[in-house]
Homo-oligomer: A and B are copies of this chain.
C-alpha cells in the first residue's frame, strides 16, 4: 500500500518535481485545491503514459466526487507547468506523458497496441529532416507515429 508521506514540509535529498507544486501554483496566482491534490497524488505514483480516462478513474478511487471536466482542466494547468505533456493516442484519444524527462515522441503498434518512446537520436533525425524540408520546427512531444513493431510487421 503506497502511503503518501508529508512531502513539501520535510526535505528529502532527491526532490521530486512535484514537490513545491502547490507553492508554484500560488506564485502564479493559481490555487491549490483538494481536487488538484488528488490528481497530483495520482500522477506522482504513475509515471509514464496514461490516458485521461485512466487518470479520471484513478482519481475517483481516491475521491468519488471527481468530475472529468476538473481533471481535464487541471491537466491543462499542469501542462503549462511542464509537469505533463499531452498527445493523441491511436484512436485520437488524449494521452498524457507524466514528467517528460526529455522531450520525445511515441510509436504505436497498430497490431499489438504497444507503445514505445522514440529515442532522442532518432527523434533528432526526424526534427532535422523536417527542418530541412519546410523549415518546420517540430514539437516532438506531441508526435505519435503509427505502424507495426518489429515483432508484428512480418
Measured CB to CB, the residues of A under 8 A from B are 88, 92-94, 107, 109-110, 116, 118-119, 121-122, 125-126, 129-130, 132-139, 142-143, 145-150, 153
Contact = CB atoms under 8 A, between A and B. Distances in A.
Contacts of A92: 88, 92-94
A87 to B, nearest CB: 9
A137 B153 contact: yes
A93 B91 CA distance: 9
User: How often does this chain occur in the complex, in copies?
Assistant: 2
B130 A107 contact: yes
> Which of A110, A138, A147: most chain B CB closer than 10 A?
A147
B129 A125 contact: yes
A154 to B, nearest CB: 10
Nearest to A4: B134
A88 B145 CA distance: 11
Contacts of A139: 110, 145-148
Contact of A153 (B88, B125, B135, B150): B135
A119 B133 contact: yes
B122 A129 contact: yes
A130 B129 CA distance: 13
Nearest to A117: B134
Contacts of A88: 88, 92
A10 B94 CA distance: 41
B122 A132 contact: yes
Contacts of A132: 122
